[in-house]
Amino acid sequence: MDTEVGSVRNVTTGDCSDLYYVDTGMYETPGYGAAYILDADQPAIVETGIGTNHEFLLEALADLEIDREEVATIAVTHIHLDHAGGAGFLAEACPNASVYVPAAGASLLADPGRLVAGTKAAVGDQWEFYVEPEPIDEDRIVEIENGDTIDLGDHSLCVHGAPGHAFHQVVLENPENNAVFTGDAAGIWVPDRERIVETSPPSDFDLEGCLADLETIAEIDPDVLLYTHFGPRDVSDDLEDALETYADTLTAWVEAVEDTHAALEDDEAVVSQFAESVDAELVDVWGARKARAEAVMNARGVLDALGE
């Protein structure tokens, strides 16, 4: 896939229309972090990146001839800062937008101190790629829950609870495009390799919940999955296979961490082993540092779940 960081690209996957995405250059890694713009009657930004490079989205609005004052909605699937870290910056730049946040995590975007502390603990030295998030005025935040609908005029975003990856996660269905913004509920899509890989960060990862979230997506039955990590994917002919593949991938990853922990009986030894045995294909795609950091974070998330 041609992934020019910062450029705005039209989503032509399936029958999508009025939909665009931007590679935010997250962690200085092309093809890892996407944010979306829905050029609806009432325009929306879905997902906001880590805050670094949030100006890419503002430039994309200009390229699409959408005035910042016209943006009505900034929506995030959950409050992990790789999805919600840019929300405060975008809210400042788009003064008429409401910020739609899953209710379980909304207070942490209004006062992000605890969120920052948790993120630093989870991502380690990757924090250098972040910026401190801007607090969002409580009167700008709209709390969303399973069953809610965000009305954008000629488009809508239907909210479905998906708390397996994190208790504050939802997925957002865009029925007019028969598409779903997956957050992290369907894994990480690596388009260059047409491969799905696991995501299991601390501290709220729950395998059974993640598998249930895949059933939620199956019930929606979209033609297109819109991954934050990374980009649109046509599943019109193979949704069931795509979801089953991720279920198998995630389950196998958890079992591998469990088995390694049983053998080594030491969390740090487990983390070190996975850090030193990073998938070579992911190193080729993301670079050694990001691929290693991903493995470390995902191993720690499984270990946290084992320790509960």
pLDDT tens, 232-287? 999 999 999 999 999 999 999 999 999 999 999 999 999 999 999 999 999 999 99
Task: Domain count for the chain, please give it.
Answer: 1
Residue 109 burial class via C-beta count within 10 angstroms: exposed 0-12, middle 13-18, buried 19 and up: buried
Domain presence at residue 297: no
Tell me the CATH number at 172.
3.60.15.10
Domain presence at residue 171: yes
Domain presence at residue 101: yes
- Whether the Cβ atoms of residue 41 and residue 154 lie closer than 8 Å to each other: yes
Q: Which domain holds residue 135?
A: 8-240
Nearest to 279 by CA among 200, 183, 202, 195: 195
* pLDDT at residue number 307: 83
* pLDDT at residue number 1: 45
Dihedrals phi, psi of 302, to nearest 5 degrees: -70, -40
**pLDDT surpassing 50 at residue 114:** yes
Dihedrals phi, psi of 13, to nearest 5 degrees: -65, 140
**pLDDT surpassing 80 at residue 308:** no
**pLDDT surpassing 60 at residue 112:** yes
* pLDDT at residue number 203: 85
Domain presence at residue 144: yes
Give the mean pLDDT of 287-301.
95
What whole-number distance in Å separates Cα of residue 198 and Cα of residue 304?
16
What whole-number distance in Å separates Cα of residue 281 and Cα of residue 301?
22
* pLDDT at residue number 170: 98
**Residue pLDDT, tens place only, 115-169:** 999 999 888 899 999 999 999 999 999 999 999 999 999 999 999 999 999 999 9
Would you place residue 11 in the very low, low, confident or very high pLDDT band (cuts 50, 70, 90)? very high
**Residue pLDDT, tens place only, 60-98:** 999 999 999 999 999 999 999 999 999 999 999 999 999
Domain presence at residue 276: no
pTM over 0.85: yes
Domain presence at residue 79: yes
The 8-class DSSP code of residue 40 comes to -
Give the mean pLDDT of 182-208.
95
Give the mean pLDDT of 45-56.
96
Roughly how many angstroms between the first and final C-alpha of the chain, as a whole number? 40
What whole-number distance in Å separates Cα of residue 37 and Cα of residue 28?
21
Q: Which two tokens stand for residue 186?
A: 């369907």
- Whether the Cβ atoms of residue 103 and residue 93 lie closer than 8 Å to each other: no
- Whether the Cβ atoms of residue 139 and residue 62 lie closer than 8 Å to each other: no
Nearest to 173 by CA among 155, 154, 198: 155
Domain presence at residue 264: no
The identity of residue 219, as a single letter, is E
- Is the N-terminal amide bond of 107 cis, ω within 30° of 0? no
**pLDDT surpassing 80 at residue 3:** no
Domain presence at residue 207: yes
**Residue pLDDT, tens place only, 159-191:** 999 999 999 999 999 999 999 999 999 999 999
Report the 10 Å Cβ neighbour count for 206: 18
